[in-house]
Amino acid sequence: MSAFQAPAGRYAPSPSGDLHFGNLRTAVLAWLFARQTGRNFYLRVEDIDSERSSAESAQRQIEDLQMLGLDFDPPVMYQHDRGDAYADALSRLDTYECYCTRRDIREAASAPHAQPGMYPGTCRDLSEEQRAFRRSELHAEGRLPAIRLRAHVKEWTVRDFYQGEYTGPVDDVILKRGGRIDQAQAGDWAYNLAVVVDDGYQGVDQVVRGDDLLFSAPAQAYLADRLGLTVPVYIHVPLVVGPEGRRLAKRDGAVTLREMLAGKSVEDVVSQIAESLGYVGVSSVQELLEEFDPAQLSREPWLWTPQQPEGF
């Protein structure tokens, strides 16, 4: 049962490094959409990937967002504390063990008539004898199987603020990752399960994120439906891209807030974010909140250029 009250929005970064300009822009947009509609706004630290996440990175990200002027309703949630909730959700779903390696999935995906990016269902209909054999093989190698959702639909429709109704494919997504038996831990929970369970728990009914994630919304919405949770309204916003037209990354230069602050003020950075959203002469997120019009947001990616205009 949720201790939170809807409606709410959220920003949920993975603490695997400092946030870059594109991450910061999306965070500001998530905050703007939530605050303009009277929603609570939560920060969730998506740290279930223990190999890539760190407490130091999470703290730096929180400090960076606060430096921009963003405020969050308490508490900050950490996914590494949520294992019991994920286990409870898993127990209420129709699932099966998957014994495939990444190589198995790649080879199956390259077969004729395979749907790119979708799990082909290799382990879905194995007999009990076949499962026992595959399970014993994995155990002999010191590994555990993954757990997948047994989806009962091929596609699902979601509502997106900019796209309208969007229908996309649904496959048997991983809910709990496999791994070595001697290294099994809470971090084995998969993103698709964790994000849906946490959104439901926090009463999140508005999800703002990059439009490269639109493809994943149908499967997550279907999973929420299976768990009896409210399916959020999605707002997929354009990305920031680097000079080569790819999603902005650290390879594109001094793109993190702390790097940018070596030659600029926080107000300069906020002003650049505001300009990327179509607002000139705005140097605080509170000013931006007063002027922001969601309908006027460009649907095109915003191009990051290492050399900013003179005076910026």
Which position has the token pair 């190698």? 141
Q: Which residues does 179 contact at the CB level (< 8 Å), separation at least 6? A: 143, 144, 188
Q: Is 63 annotated as a binding residue?
A: no
Q: Is 14 annotated as a binding residue?
A: yes
Which position has the token pair 């993975």? 14
User: In sequence order, what E strands does the chain have?
Assistant: 8-11, 40-45, 77-78, 95-98, 143-144, 146-149, 155-160, 164-169, 174-176, 179-180, 206-210, 233-237, 240-241, 302-303
Helix intervals (H) in 110-256: 128-140, 191-201, 217-226
Q: Is 12 annotated as a binding residue?
A: yes
User: Which tokens is 199 given?
Assistant: 């959104």
Determine whether 34 is exposed, middle or buried from the number of CB atoms within 10 Å of its CB (0-12, 13-18, 19+).
Answer: buried
Q: What span, in angstroms and rounded, lies between the C-alpha atoms of 119 and 115?
A: 8
Q: Is 209 annotated as a binding residue?
A: yes
CA angle 229, 232, 237 (to 5 degrees): 155
Q: Is 10 annotated as a binding residue?
A: yes
Torsional class of 281: left (φ above 0), alpha (ψ -120 to 50), beta (otherwise): left
Helix or strand holding residue 59 (H, E):
helix 55-68
Q: Would you list which residues are annotated within the binding site?
A: 10-14, 46, 98, 100, 119, 123, 191, 209, 250
Query: Residues within the annotated binding site for ATP?
Result: 250
| Binding-site residues from annotation for Zn(2+) | 98, 100, 119, 123
Residues at the binding site for L-glutamate are: 10-14, 46, 191, 209
